[in-house]
Amino acid sequence: MTPVGSGAPGPSLGLILPATTQGELPFSDGSTPSTTVGASELAELCRRAEATGADSLWAVDHLYWPHPIGEALTTLAVASVATSRPTLGTCILQLPLRQPSAVAKQATALQLLSGGRFVLGLGVGSHDSEYERAGVDFHSRGRLMDEGVARIREAWSGPSDGTSDYVQEPASAPVPLWFGGSSAAARRRAAAVGDGWVPLFLAPEEYATALASLRRDTAEAGRDPEAVEPGVVVFACVGSDDEAPDLGAAWLSQLYRLPGKAFHRHLVAGSPETCAAALRRYADAGARHIIVMVAGSPAVEHFGLLRSTFTRDQQRVLAGAKA
């Protein structure tokens, strides 16, 4: 799956939609909506994100979280109507916390609603407290993921004996399955049954090494080594080179309730030029899809600055290659 984008050379650049619209949609009186908004406000946010030139828009998934957070598939249903160009996806949906056949039906519906622009990004998550609240065994999440993927594909393919009248229809174009996670297990799962791989918390040099391992794993699984689209998720904070690293780390610390120092190594931060150069290193390492989670607010405006700078950089690279 290659997202439809601006036509600029190089990798696609996508945006993870803000998990809450707080601070993202200023009203004419200067106030901002609360964390609970209607479909029209969410649609406006998606339209503004599309206007930045984002090649893809993604929604995060948590059933339980320390802060207000939107529901991923509902968010993307609104996005499918509000936008016409970007790829839409979950980044990532924690399949072990959900009923697989229901996810299969929802994914098909989103593929139809969006005109074939939907990607189902799946992962196991890493928050044991969320699993506890959901009543799911955290330590069984890998097994539940593998079983869930098999059940999704079964729902899409129909009954194995072809005799049952109970099927999931209407059908859609195939829904690509992308897998998140930077662990060896997640990478091997993507290699075996995935259409894409989108790890988090990998520096560019680590990503290059992991991508080489993904290609070997894919070949060992009996598939074309290039069968899995290489993506990556990157935290980014756009601002001054002096202040942005600390501001972004503080924002992520508040979101995840972890010490800010835990994020400095994994944060792209600074001026649009500094951030674009850092993203270019992921492209040079082999990423064809870079998905940005803006560590700050307003996320859409910050992403727009990064998008325009990154596009100019890509165009310069292409011009240099042709010279």
Residue 95, pLDDT score:
98
Question: Hey, what domains does the chain have and what are their CATH numbers?
Answer: 12-26+35-322 (3.20.20.30)
Residue 25, pLDDT score:
59
Phi-psi region of 221 (alpha: psi -120 to 50; beta: other; left: phi over 0): alpha
Worst-scoring range by mean pLDDT, 139-143, 155-159, 162-166, 190-194? Answer: 162-166
Residue 52 tokens, joined: 């930045």
Residue 9, pLDDT score:
60
Residue 27, pLDDT score:
53
Closest CA to 303 of 315, 314, 313, 291: 291
Element (H, E) at 73: helix 72-82
Q: What is the largest CA-CA distance in the chain?
A: 66
Average the pLDDT over 141-156 and give the result: 97
Closest CA to 297 of 24, 17, 9: 24
Distance CA 310, CA 14 (A): 12
Q: Tell me the β-bridge partners of 245.
A: none
Distance CA 174, CA 134 (A): 30
Cβ atoms 230, 289 nearer than 8 A:
yes
Residue 26 has pLDDT above 60, yes or no: no
Specify the 3-state DSSP secondary structure of 27. Answer: coil
- How many beta carbons lie within 10 A of that of residue 139, not counting itself? 8
187-196: b (≥16 Cβ within 10 Å) or e: bbbbbbbbbb
Q: What is the reported pTM? A: 0.93
End-to-end CA distance of the chain: 30
Residue 65 has pLDDT above 50, yes or no: yes
pLDDT tens track for 111-121: 999 999 999 99
pLDDT band at 165 (very low <50, low <70, confident <90, very high): confident
pLDDT tens track for 243-271: 999 999 999 998 888 899 989 999 999 99
Q: What is the DSSP letter of 125?
A: -
Closest CA to 18 of 81, 66, 68: 68
Closest CA to 294 of 235, 249, 251: 235
